[in-house]
C-alpha cells in the first residue's frame, strides 16, 4: 500500500459515531454519507495526503469551500476532497507535495450551524473529480488507510507528513468518549 499522509494532525471520526463514517450509514441505513467527518475546530490545518495536483477549488452548495487534490496510487488516479473549509491556500493546477498545507477547516456550506465537537472536516476519496449525489464516484477512505479512526485518534505530526512512514502514531485511549 502506498504511504498516504492523513489529512489532519489528529484524525478521529466526529463523536466516534458510525453515521459519520462512509457508506449508507445515516437515517438507519437509508441515507448515504460520502466520506469521513473528522473532528476539527475551525482553522485546523489540512494537509495534502499525497503528492499531486490541485484539481480545483470551489465554494458553493452543501460542501461550502472545497479543495480537491488529484493524486495517483499504484493502481489508479483518485481525488481527495476537503470540504467545509474556512479558506484554502492553494489554487487550481498547483503542484503540491505530500504534507503540504492546503487550507483550514471551518463551517462553510451546510456545516454552518455546527458548534463544539460537531465541527469537522468532511473528507472524501473520489474516483472521479466531480461525482454526483449518493455514494457513486467515491470509495471508503478506509480502502486507502486500512482502518477507520473511530474510538481513538490517529495522530500524525506535521513533520511526519513529509517523511515516508506508516499511518502515524495511534494514540489509543485519547479523545475517547464515554
Ligand atoms: Zn460529512
Better-scored residue on pLDDT, 73 or 171: 73
In a domain, 152, yes or no: yes
Please give the share of the chain, as a percent, with pLDDT higher than 70. 88
Output the CA 34–ligand 1 centroid distance in Å.
7
pLDDT recorded at residue 100: 93
pLDDT at residue 177 is higher than 60: no
DSSP 96-161: E-TT-EEEEE---GGGTT--GGG-EEEEEEESSSS--SSSTTEE-THHHHSS---SSEEE--GGGG
pLDDT recorded at residue 156: 86
In a domain, 1, yes or no: no
Output the CA 147–ligand 1 centroid distance in Å.
18
Output the CA 59–ligand 1 centroid distance in Å.
16
In a domain, 116, yes or no: yes
Better-scored residue on pLDDT, 26 or 172: 26
pLDDT at residue 165 is higher than 50: no
Output the CA 139–ligand 1 centroid distance in Å.
14
pLDDT at residue 176 is higher than 80: no
pLDDT recorded at residue 2: 52
pLDDT recorded at residue 162: 64
Output the CA 22–ligand 1 centroid distance in Å.
9
Question: Cα(first)–Cα(last) distance of the chain, in Å?
Answer: 34
- Three-point CA angle 170, 21, 17, nearest 5°: 80
pLDDT at residue 112 is higher than 60: yes
The mean pLDDT of the chain is: 89
Length of the chain: 178
Cβ burial of 85 (10 Å; 0-12, 13-18, 19+) is buried
In a domain, 178, yes or no: no
In a domain, 4, yes or no: no
pLDDT at residue 146 is higher than 60: yes
In a domain, 127, yes or no: yes
Number of domains in the chain: 1
d(CA 71, CA 150): 25
pLDDT at residue 164 is higher than 50: no
In a domain, 135, yes or no: yes
- Is residue 1 helix, strand or coil? coil
Domain limits at 108? 10-171
Spatial contact of 90 and 68, defined as CB atoms under 8 Å apart: no
CATH of residue 126: 2.70.70.10
pLDDT recorded at residue 157: 78
In a domain, 176, yes or no: no
C-alpha cell at 163: 517523511
Stretch 100-124: mean pLDDT = 96
Amino acid at each position: 500500500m502506498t504511504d498516504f499522509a492523513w489529512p489532519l494532525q489528529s484524525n478521529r471520526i466526529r463523536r466516534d459515531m458510525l453515521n459519520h463514517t462512509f457508506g449508507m450509514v445515516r437515517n438507519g441505513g437509508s441515507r448515504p454519507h460520502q466520506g469521513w467527518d473528522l473532528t476539527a475546530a475551525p482553522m485546523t490545518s489540512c494537509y495534502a495526503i499525497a503528492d499531486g495536483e490541485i484539481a480545483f477549488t470551489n465554494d458553493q452548495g452543501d460542501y461550502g469551500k472545497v479543495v480537491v487534490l488529484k493524486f495517483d496510487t499504484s493502481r489508479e488516479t483518485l481525488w481527495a476532497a476537503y470540504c467545509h473549509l474556512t479558506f484554502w491556500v492553494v489554487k487550481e493546477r498547483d503542484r503540491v507535495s505530500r504534507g503540504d498545507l492546503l487550507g483550514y477547516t471551518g463551517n462553510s456550506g451546510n456545516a454552518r450551524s455546527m458548534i463544539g465537537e460537531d465541527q469537522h472536516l468532511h473528507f472524501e476519496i473520489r474516483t472521479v473529480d466531480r461525482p454526483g449525489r449518493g455514494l457513486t464516484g467515491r470509495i471508503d477512505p478506509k480502502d486507502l488507510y486500512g482502518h477507520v479512526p473511530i474510538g481513538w485518534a490517529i495522530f500524525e505530526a506535521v513533520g511526519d507528513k513529509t517523511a515516508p512512514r506508516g499511518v502515524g502514531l495511534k494514540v489509543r485511549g485519547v479523545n475517547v468518549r464515554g
